[in-house]
Amino acid sequence: MSTPTTHDHTTTTPTSGAKKKGLLAGIGIAVACAVACSLPLIAAGGLAAGVGAFLAGGEAVALGVVLVVGALVGAALWVRRRRAAAASNTCATGCGCGGGC
């Protein structure tokens, strides 16, 4: 027997569904990137506004905002640590987190 000398070079083109998924994924990535890049600027603007309010004479308002934000951040860190500790305790069996041991 001899080997065939012709090769099948058909190319497949993505369907319209795959193109839409790729387009939506690209838009999602662009939006996520824009949000992630804008957060430091928003935080800096908030810090500048807080300093401006403090220097303009709104000490009570500025200190109140600082206390509220500090309490929110502290509570978020506390909840995060509690969840991490609970997750590590439940998976300490060595059998994995499925619980099928």
pLDDT at residue 87, rounded to an integer: 73
Q: What is the pLDDT of residues 11-48, one digit of tens each?
A: 665 566 677 788 888 888 888 888 888 877 777 777 77
pLDDT at 4 over 80: no
Which residues fall within 8 angstroms of residue 62, CB to CB, at 6 or more apart?
A: 50, 51, 53, 54
> CB-side exposure of 77: number of CA atoms within 13 Å?
6
DSSP state of 94: S
pLDDT at residue 26, rounded to an integer: 86
| More confidently predicted of 25 and 9 | 25
Q: What is the pLDDT of residues 79-95, one digit of tens each?
A: 988 888 777 766 555 55
